A and B are shown apart, each in its own frame.
Chain A
Amino acid sequence: MNATLVLLGVFIVATAGTALSLQNIVRSVLLLVLSWFGIAAFYLWAGAEFAAFAQALVYGGAVSMVVLFAVLLTRRGHQDATVAPPPPGRLLAALLAGGAVAGIIAATVIRTPFASVSDEVPVLPVRRLGALLMGPHAAALLVTGALLTAALLGAVVIAAGAKDDKEGSP
């Protein structure tokens, strides 16, 4: 296995892991963003420049802002300040769900035949990428576009709705 790949993998998992364990929520968000940059570095290592820069631009620039805004703007209501100890039933359900997801991922990873890592990786120039996107994969591109727009409009509607509730409650 390639040394840098291992290094990158450890870096990504480590930053994501410590992000989960930190008390200070803003620091954990920033560590999460660091792990996204780790993923962008992985793409670079893999030779997919376009994907790496897109990842850095979209996740490092925009999604991190959305997460930070969400963290700052949600107000802890008085009622959910104290976290009640989880009843035994909830603990069991959590384990079950976690185990199922882990099982599915492990199964797919084991069963899929990975191609052997050949040394020279074909670097696709962006123009070729564009042609591919507009040609055979145009349908996928348009579907994701429509999905994202719908999600955006939904968010706006919910946010607009929320403002009225805030107005009502003194």
Chain B
Amino acid sequence: MTAEAIELDSWLERLPLTLRDLLAGPIPGPWRWIVQDVIAIAVVLAVFPLLFAFLTLAERKVLGRIQNRPGPNRVGWGGILQPFADGIKMLTKEDIVPRAADPVLHFLAPVALVSFSLLSLAVIPYGRHLVPLDLDAGILYFFAASASSELAVFMAGWAGRNKYSLLAAMRALAQLISYELPLLLSLVPVVMLAGTLSPSGIVAAQAGWSAGFLPHWNILTPWGLAGFAIFMVAALAEANRSPFDLPEAESELIAGHLTEYSGFKYALFFMAEYFAMCALSGMAVTLFLGGWQAPVAILQFVPSYGWFAIKLLSLLLGFIWIRATLPRLRIDQLMRLAWKFLLPLALINLVTASFWHLSAGWGAAAQPLRWGLGLALVAVPFVVIGRRLSTGLGPRTYRYAAP
């Protein structure tokens, strides 16, 4: 930690640490780190389910407001207790296990899905001192945890022994696997330029402001912008969110791989989906939006975990906003988008990032040229591949019958 960072540690910044030491203080030496880890786990297990609860409420309220209606406002003041009402309803609902189902897999699927998505929450740096698990290969751990959630989706689809849920499970797998590639490739430039796989290292690499108000976030570079866009689109697909929520598309295969689930297991699936959404947007914040860094130097009095929360919530709001606006893509279009559009763009983004890295030494005069070239390297393939991909689609003009 640089000297300047230490004296910046206001008491608010160190609050979580002081609280933890307060709790873990009396425990004798060797057992203390276990208690500290248990506290960290307890905090994550408390914060994220609560965030999930109020996220469902926020989603229904924002969706309602976009559709000119109030959203839930009957339970509690302004609908604040709605998530708990939903929770109780889900708990009291009957949990039907189909006779032909494979009971072990049927039970294991939601449990596995939730546990894998919870695992991936362990490495995201929520604040300057708030990293539950500071791993050297944290980014790899994150994607290892979220990659095995495909297994649980397959288990859910297969265990139900239902023709629709199996079809939907196969679609879900195809979608998850083909979007894993652009997801990972879009973060490779970040790792390359930050030189480390550890999330806190990446956040530290984005520290500092040039001229006081321009933060060194990755998104404020041409390759960062493209990488962020690809990462968000792929994150939408990984979390089965709006334009890609094919697996549980109501208009086609009823409830996809969730058809055979009811009661609290059904709620667990949605909890897992929201955890995956939070985890992926947390990772997007860490990689591209400078983690817990403040946007402007003078605003540093706000604690670091505050900035992380603001960025995370704004990304989640973006997820909800997109869900309210866009229709769903068909399975073949979804695949074509992943393999023929996002993947090539992600690969070209590597070239842009390397150009950006090599041209770091250019003088101030050459900055506009550097930016121009960087943006061209991003925009030109986008337009060319975009036009080739959407041949035959486009706005049309209509003629009128002769009177």
Contacts and interface: CB of A to CB of B under 8 A. Distances in A.
A and B touch in the complex (CB under 8 A): yes
Contacts of A62: 147, 177, 180
A66 to B, nearest CB: 9
Interface stretch (A25-33, A79-87, A147-155): A25-33
B137 A50 contact: yes
Q: What is the interface of chain A mostly: helix, strand, loop, or mixed? A: helix
Given A24-B102, A53-B141, A61 B195 contact: no
B333 interface: no
A60 B151 contact: yes
B140 A61 contact: no
Contacts of A12: none
B364 to A, nearest CB: 31
Contact of A50 (B140, B158, B170, B173): B140
A65 interface: yes
Contacts, number: 70
Contact of B144 (A53, A68, A72): A53
Contact of A56 (B104, B148, B155, B198): B148
Interface in B205-233: none
B80 to A, nearest CB: 39
A54 B140 contact: yes
B147 A26 contact: no
Given A61-B148, A69-B173, A27 B143 contact: no
Interface in A16-54: 24, 26-27, 30, 33, 37, 40, 49-50, 53-54
Contacts of A127: 195-196
Interface in B148-186: 148, 150-151, 154-155, 158, 170, 173, 177, 180
A52 B180 CA distance: 19
A64 interface: yes
A5 B154 CA distance: 31
A49 B136 contact: yes
Closest 10 CB pairs of A and B: A61-B147, A56-B144, A57-B144, A60-B148, A53-B140, A53-B144, A126-B197, A53-B141, A50-B137, A49-B137
8 contacts: A37-B148, A56-B148, A61-B147, A61-B150, A62-B180, A72-B170, A126-B196, A126-B198
